[in-house]
Amino acid sequence: METGSTMTADLPRAEAIFAATFSCTPSVAAVVATHGCAKTYPARSTIIENGSPNDSIFVNLSGHARKEALSLNGRLVVLEDYFTGDIFGEGGLNGVVSLSDEVTAVEPVEASAFSSASFISLMTNYNSIALAFSHILLTRLSRATQRLMEGATLSANGRIYAELLRQARAGNAMAIEPTPVLSSFALAVQSTRETVSRAINGLEKRGIIRRDEHRLIVVAPHRLEELIF
């Protein structure tokens, strides 16, 4: 069950996020804002409940949400992390009931919720929104396929190295900032905190990565890439 509460949206900030997410003009972003209902969720609360019908698509305005699932052996697996500007709950377009995963707030989340009818209307009337949403879903599918392949073909250390390289390349100057939380990182690569800790410590001793108080820097990306397979 959703635990969020309706609140007055900070429209200028929300519109700026919509414009960036959907690559649309400020005037279109203003229209998008009128269709969404702003909600807040405290840390560790459920946004989309496992097994419940979902008729909403969310754009994250602030905070960190996460989509998780339980594997057949009962292990919790991280499927997606959502930050400012990310979209989640896309299954709501078809009223899909999720039997294996749910979205929770890792830290306090503010999101704009759109009914499936409203979101479909926006995509129908504005090509930029439809194209941006299609691109987001294709990127997400590509990322999920890559993770599936890595899970089937790589060792635990290989998955850790691949994720480190992926996050570093997505950051600035091959840096992951803030430094990854080991327990969360372990969930993302389907491993244990201890295994991740050993792998990162080993890379640091070999001079492949460097850590400071706030970030982890991949110093030798080519060497790290060679260790993946």
pLDDT in tens, 75-123: 777 888 899 999 999 887 876 555 556 899 999 999 999 999 999 999 9
**pLDDT tier at 9 (50, 70, 90 boundaries)?**
very low
In this predicted structure, what is the pLDDT of residue 207? 95
User: Do 81 and 104 fall within a single domain?
Assistant: yes
Count of C-beta atoms within a 10 Å radius of residue 80: 17
46-55, 69-78, 184-193: least confidently modelled range: 69-78
Reduced DSSP (H G I as helix, E B as strand, rest coil) percent helix, strand, coil of the chain, to 5: 45, 25, 30
How many domains would you assign to the chain?
2
Q: What is the pLDDT of residue 8?
A: 36
pLDDT of residue 106: 93
Domain termination residue (choose one: 119, 151, 183):
151
Q: What is the pLDDT of residues 159-203, one digit of tens each?
A: 999 999 998 998 889 999 989 888 888 888 888 999 999 999 999
Q: Tell which of 122, 151, 180 closes a domain.
A: 151
Residue 136 has pLDDT above 80, yes or no: yes
Average pLDDT of the chain, as a whole number: 87
The domain that contains 143 carries what CATH number?
2.60.120.10
For residues 56 and 136, membership in a common domain is answered with yes
How far is the C-alpha of 100 from the C-alpha of 119, rounded, in Å?
A: 24
For residue 99, give its domain range: 5-151
DSSP 89: -
Q: Which residue shows structure tokens 């097994």?
A: 51
What residues are paired with 68 via a beta bridge? Answer: 78, 102
Is 179 found in the same domain as 119? no
Looking at residue 97, its pLDDT comes to 54
Single residue among 108, 130, 151 that ends a domain in this structure: 151
CA triplet 76, 77, 81: central angle to 5 degrees? 125
Extract the tokens encoding 105.
Answer: 């707030």
Together in a domain, 46 and 66 = yes
Same domain, 204 and 224: yes
The SS3 assignment for 174 reads coil
